[in-house]
Amino acid sequence: MSASRGTEWPIIFSWGANSYGQLSLGDTEDRTLPVRSTSHVSEVKQISGGGGHTVVLTYSSGPVKVEGFNGHPVRDVAAGIRHSLAVTDDGNVWTWGCGKRGQLGWLENLQSGQRWSHKPRTVSEEMKCRSVAAGAYHSLAITVHNRLFGWGDNKRGQLAIEPDKTAGTLMFSKPREISWNSEKSTEVISCVASGWTHVLILLDGGDVYSWGRNVYCQLGRPSECDQTDGSRRRDMCWKPAKVPHLPKIDHIACGSEHNIVLTANGEVYCWGWNEHGMCADGTEEDVQVPKQVATLDKFKTHVIGTGAGHCMVACS
């Protein structure tokens, strides 16, 4: 689903769901602790995973040319369950695929009854962006002016507004700005990542904020989310807030209902859904707060990646 980028790190560890051999360990057994892969991979640039597969991009494979739209090269991409996004170097966000929950950002432009498109189209000429992320049926974008926008499904509060059928806030077919910064911080959003129905953002100072669905404790702040004021319920919390119990973070990635983050010192933390051991603590119990992956203590991790129910890292 998402990944971080590194340079020459040949030691690969993987854990979590493995029904389709996505851990590259030569079998289909789940792992609840990191296991070193025997695959010969060097110069790892990026790791990314889907529901049952993993992709590792290396520098040695040569440069990868991605054709842009209207002659513009692509700087960032993201994929949901049935839709995709791309940002071109002129800052335009393009979307295509399924749009029945508003995740394309231009649903009203589709023909009556049509809810998908094979052709990429720009979301808004006025909204110039630098990066994007995708959930199951929602989309997110960071603008060049450090503003965060979201559109699509909001049933779990993943667009940071209370989901209310009466108020018409269960879905947004056009981008709306997400007010994550209640403390009026001047910090820049370094990265946005999304699971199926929850969201993480990373600030340039190393803090992580979360909101959305919380059934598996994927927000990493159970004491706050257990309260039932106007902004939260036990199964969700639509108000963005800082994830506690974390040191300075350098990169974030989301699985479907779990998270993996990388510290500036090369340490790895996981939390959330753990049915297949993807939090790497040796159990299959959901992890409520960020927990360091102790198995990797003797290594320095440089690249992290996650699929729907598994994780991989590249270390030295």
Asked if the model's pLDDT at residue 65 lies above 50, the reply is no
**Lowest-pLDDT range of 16-20, 182-186, 216-220:** 182-186
pLDDT per residue as tens digits for the range 169-191: 999 999 999 998 766 667 899 99
Q: State the residue range of the domain holding 204.
A: 73-301
Residue 60: predicted pLDDT: 60
User: Poorest-confidence range of 10-14, 100-104, 249-253?
Assistant: 10-14
Instruction: Give the Cα separation of 133 and 78 in Å (integer).
Output: 5
Establish if 32 belongs to a structural domain. Answer: no
Residue 171 in domain: yes
Would you say residue 3 lies in a domain?
A: no
In contact, 54 and 39? CB cutoff 8 Å = no
User: Which residue bears the tokens 């129905």?
Assistant: 197
Q: What is residue 85's predicted lDDT score, i.e. its pLDDT? A: 86
The DSSP secondary-structure symbol of 236 reads E
- In the structure encoding, which two tokens stand for residue 312, read together? 């991989």
In a domain, 251, yes or no: yes
Residues 270-293: tens digit of each pLDDT: 999 999 999 999 999 999 999 999
Interatomic CA distance for residues 30 and 182, integer angstroms = 41
Alpha-carbon Rg of the chain, whole angstroms? 19
Segment 295-312 mean pLDDT? 92
User: Which of 54 and 132 is assigned the larger pLDDT?
Assistant: 132
* Nearest by Cα to 84 from 52, 113, 118: 118
- Strands 74-79, 83-88: pairing is antiparallel
Q: What is the pLDDT of residue 71?
A: 79
pLDDT digits (tens, 9 = 90+) for 22-45: 898 999 999 999 999 877 766 777
CB 192 within 8 A of CB 199: yes
4 domain-assigned? no
66 falls in which pLDDT band (50, 70, 90)? very low
Closest by CA position to 156, among listed 202, 85, 100, 225 = 225
CATH code for the domain of 283? 2.130.10.30
Each residue's pLDDT tens digit, 148-167: 999 999 999 999 999 998 88
Q: Residue 116: inside a domain, yes or no?
A: yes
The answer to whether residue 159 sits within a structural domain is yes
Q: Which of 48, 57, 64 is nearest to 8 (CA)?
A: 57
Of 46, 44, 90, whose CA–CA distance to 71 is shortest?
90
Average pLDDT, the chain: 86
User: Measured between alpha carbons, how far is 11 from 157 in angstroms, rounded to an integer?
Assistant: 38
Q: Which amino acid is at 142?
A: I
Task: List the one residue out of 144, 67, 150 whose CA is nearest residue 105.
Answer: 150
The CA-atom distances, in angstroms, between 117 and each of 8, 38, 104, 105, 113 are 39, 41, 9, 12, 12
Tens digits of per-residue pLDDT, 231-284? 555 688 999 999 998 999 999 999 999 999 999 999 999 999 999 999 999 999
On the question of pLDDT at 55 being above 80, the answer is: no
Number of folded domains that form the chain: 1
Q: What is the pLDDT of residue 63?
A: 44
Evaluate whether 156 touches 129 at the Cβ level (below 8 Å): no
Q: Is residue 55 part of a domain?
A: no
